[in-house]
Amino acid sequence: MTTSRTRTASTRAVATIASSLLALGALGACSTDTTASSDGSVAVGDTDAFPVTIEHAFGETVIDEAPTSVATVSWANQDAVIALGVVPVAMPFSTYGGDENGYLPWTLDALEALGDERPTLYSDTDGIPFDELELAGPDLILGTYSGMSDDEYSQLSKIAPTIAYPEVAWGTDWTTQLDVAGQALGLDDEAAALQTEIEDGIATAVESAPEIEGKTFAYLAFSSTDPSVVSYYTPTDSRVRFVESLGLVIAPSIVELSKDSAEFYGEVSAELADTIDADIVFAYVDSPEHLAAVEADPLLSAIPAIASGAIVVLDDPTFILSTSAPSPLSIPWAVREYVPLIQEAATHVE
């Protein structure tokens, strides 16, 4: 028996956390100085905090004064900004996991809590649309969670001061997203308070599930077109670190496979699948039929957790995005559903 994600999340509990989080974000925005620039736009952060210098993978970026128009690229970055009470001037249209208007549910909830203002949504299906971003007129571009290239960083920096990922592409966890956004907006104290709020929410969820503490796990992706390999996510990946924050421990075999890698994921031959010694497997699959194929595969079914059914199945785009690119807004939305799924998987650990 396997554990499949259902849509029975505790909506009330999620709403409680989200409301608290948003209230804190709004409080943060209202409790700081506001200074109007020459074009009438308003800086929401502490203007005395500037200039600020932020280091990242491509060097360092100096922000001379409190931003008034923030644009974001890639996934999750908009959430850190909105969680602090600031509506970006531009952000990506969420094709994967979003609604017909391009919004993820937790992002839209937060925007609605802040009022009627909405960002310009742009498509990045064919790459970053530099012209559209320039038209939005940002004075800061955040890409803390991203895999932007050196060339993309250079082009973005011609539009506005740009902040790339700190060290590992796609490896920035939600706390760093929030910390960097707080520094860049002059909202350090608000970011720190919000982090505490979110961590308290995680701790409350974990306290209700002591049986998952210490269980080992592997975060895997299975391909329906090429079952000869298994992709695994390394200890530097943000989705892996999110699971660790729930009290689980990454499997020794994944640590060993990752020891010489600076990447957020890797691949291993299906012929070695039986060496993945995790109690629980978090499994990306395309569909229930794909999961059945994995469970029937003579090599893949040799993974002990697959054989025992200790699986957290990840096949819904919205839920996948909430946990694979965890953000200060998606975590409170997802955690109340994630923990019961892990509890259910843990009942099958042998």
Q: Kindly report, residue by residue over 207-262, the tens digit of the pLDDT.
A: 999 999 999 999 999 999 999 999 999 998 989 999 999 999 999 999 999 998 88
Q: What is the pLDDT of residue 43?
A: 58
More confident position, 80 or 337: 80
- Summarize the confidence of residues 152-174 as an average pLDDT: 95
Residue 233: its H or E element:
strand 229-233
| φ, ψ dihedrals at 53, nearest 5° | -115, 125
Do residues 159 and 135 lie in contact, with contact meaning Cβ atoms separated by under 8 Å?
Answer: no
Which of helix, strand or coil describes residue 273? Answer: helix
Q: Tell me the two tokens of residue 310.
A: 């200790």
pLDDT at 133 over 90: yes
pLDDT at 33 over 60: no
Q: 105 Cβ partners below 8 Å, 6+ apart?
A: 99, 318, 333
Question: Which residue intervals of the chain are DSSP H helices?
Answer: 11-30, 77-83, 105-114, 130-136, 150-159, 174-185, 188-207, 238-245, 252-258, 288-296, 304-308, 317-324, 330-346
Burial class (CB in 10 A: 0-12, 13-18, 19+), 305: buried
User: Can you tell me the distance from the alpha carbon of 224 to that of 322, in angstroms, rounded to the nearest whole number?
Assistant: 23
Count Cβ neighbours within 10 Å for each residue of 18-29 and write b for 16 or more, e otherwise.
bebbbebbbebb
Do residues 21 and 83 lie in contact, with contact meaning Cβ atoms separated by under 8 Å?
Answer: yes
Residue 106 has a CB neighbour count (10 Å cut-off) of 25
Do residues 91 and 123 lie in contact, with contact meaning Cβ atoms separated by under 8 Å?
Answer: no
Q: What is the pLDDT of residue 261?
A: 85
Pairing of strands 59-63, 70-72: unpaired
Q: Which of 145, 155, 5, 162 is nearest to 71 (CA)?
A: 162
Q: What are the residues facing 121 on neighbouring strands?
A: 91
8: confidence class by pLDDT, cuts 50, 70, 90: very low
pLDDT at 19 over 50: no
Q: What is the pLDDT of residue 312?
A: 97
Q: What are the residues facing 162 on neighbouring strands?
A: 141
Spell out the domains of the chain, with CATH numbers in brackets.
52-205 (3.40.50.1980), 213-347 (3.40.50.1980)
C-alpha separations of 197 from 24, 201, 240, 340 in Å: 8, 6, 21, 21
Per DSSP, 68 falls in state: S
Q: How remote is the C-alpha of 13 from its chain's centroid?
A: 20
